[in-house]
């Protein structure tokens, strides 16, 4: 059967809705009302957005997109199989590609991860763009520690769950990083991908290629503040224990709208665990 075409006017409307970050369900509804099959509509919307991204890249000389993890399709399942745990999709956005996941971790797992990390905390660092090493930066005022992939049973279980949810190879993930933010601590808006133009990026890119997605898991619920914010689209995700926010970026460029930050903790403290995913096996 020949695939239906959106037509120029409808395609422009679909792309405009995606750029604005509107609810995927609202984008699909006019097609469904017009008699489109659900999967047919999903495929057409995805094709329109992907074609727009490719055209923009070609016209602007931008880097071409990479394949990225996809936890759920637009207007997809509200419950995801994590193998040993059911995870719920609470919110989803197309551009940037963001999914808020409910119940990714149990309360017991959150508490255990905090206790494993607590004695190892040090002032958090960022990647030095010149050397590729670690450096303390004023924009990041948390304390944290990192675990080697599969370092203990808890890490291994969480990493396997994420790999299953995202259908992304386990070995393409970095080890978990746990961060603690006290009152007033924050992480100013930034990108998680490595700047390919920075002299130090060759070092980080040699160990698994570019980052393409992040999963930020909330290990506690701050009394106030501490949201994960996406300034380009005026969207924020509240830090709620056990929940997580997933976001992907198919190329190292601001057009992904993946600029994000950790808003200041206004009362109490915030604990998170972060998982970064690469395009190739990470060593």
pLDDT beyond 60 at 1: no
Q: Which two tokens stand for residue 245?
A: 């926010």
The pLDDT assigned to 134 comes to 66
Whether the per-residue pLDDT at 59 is higher than 60: the answer is yes
pLDDT of the residue at 112: 98
pLDDT at 126: 64
Contacts of residue 8, Cβ cutoff 8 Å, sequence gap at least 6: none
Alpha-carbon gap, residue 262 to 189, rounded angstroms: 7
Mean pLDDT score, 19-37: 85
* Cα distance between residue 49 and residue 281, in whole Å: 28
Classified by CATH at the fold level, domain 79-278 comes out as Jelly Rolls (2.60.120)
CB 15 within 8 A of CB 48: yes
Answer with the residue of higher pLDDT: 269 or 26: 269
Positive or negative torsion for Cα 26, 228, 87, 90? negative
pLDDT at 98: 97
Q: How confident is the model at residue 137 (pLDDT cuts 50, 70, 90)?
A: low
Q: Is the pLDDT of residue 230 over 60?
A: yes
* Average pLDDT estimate for 128-139: 63
pLDDT tens for each residue of 164-186: 999 999 999 999 999 999 999 99
Length of the chain: 283
Residue 69's pLDDT band (cuts 50, 70, 90): very high
Average pLDDT for 226-242? 97
Check residues 137 and 100 and name the one with the higher pLDDT: 100
pLDDT at 219: 98
> Domain coordinates of the chain in residue numbers?
8-60, 79-278
Q: Is the pLDDT of residue 24 over 90?
A: no
Return the percentage of the chain with pLDDT > 70, whole number: 93
- Say how far apart CA 133 and CA 56 lie, in whole Å: 33
Q: What per-residue string of b and e applies to 238-273 under the rule 16 or more CB within 10 Å gives b? A: ebbbbbbbbbbbbbbbebbbbbbbbbbbeeeebbbb
Q: What pLDDT is attached to residue 104?
A: 98
- The model carries a pTM of 0.77
Reported as a pLDDT band with limits 50, 70 and 90, residue 125 is: low
């Amino acid at each position: 059967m020949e695939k239906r075409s959106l037509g120029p006017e409808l395609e422009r409307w679909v792309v405009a809705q995606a750029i604005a970050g509107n609810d995927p369900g609202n984008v699909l509804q006019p097609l469904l009302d017009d008699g489109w099959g659900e999967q047919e509509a999903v495929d057409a919307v995805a094709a329109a957005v992907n074609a727009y991204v490719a055209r923009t890249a070609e016209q602007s000389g931008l880097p071409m997109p990479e394949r990225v993890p996809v936890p759920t399709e637009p207007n997809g399942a509200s419950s995801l199989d994590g193998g040993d745990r059911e995870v719920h999709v609470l919110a989803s956005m197309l551009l940037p590609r963001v999914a808020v996941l409910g119940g990714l971790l149990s309360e017991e797992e959150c508490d255990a991860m905090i206790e494993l990390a607590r004695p190892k905390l040090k002032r958090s660092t960022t990647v030095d763009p010149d050397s590729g090493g670690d450096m303390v930066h004023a924009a990041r005022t948390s304390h944290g520690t990192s675990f080697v992939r599969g370092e203990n049973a808890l890490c291994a279980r969480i990493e396997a769950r994420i790999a299953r949810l995202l259908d992304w190879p386990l070995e393409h993930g970095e080890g978990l990083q746990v961060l603690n933010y006290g009152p007033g601590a924050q992480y100013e808006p930034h990108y998680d991908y490595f700047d390919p133009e920075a002299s130090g990026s060759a070092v980080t890119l040699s160990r698994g290629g570019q980052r393409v997605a992040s999963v930020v898991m909330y290990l506690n619920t701050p009394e106030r503040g501490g949201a994960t914010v996406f300034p380009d689209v005026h969207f924020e995700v509240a830090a709620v224990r056990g929940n997580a926010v997933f976001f992907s970026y198919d190329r190292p460029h601001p057009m992904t709208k993946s600029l994000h930050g950790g808003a200041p903790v206004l009362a109490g403290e915030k604990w998170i665990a972060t998982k970064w995913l690469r395009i190739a096996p990470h060593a």
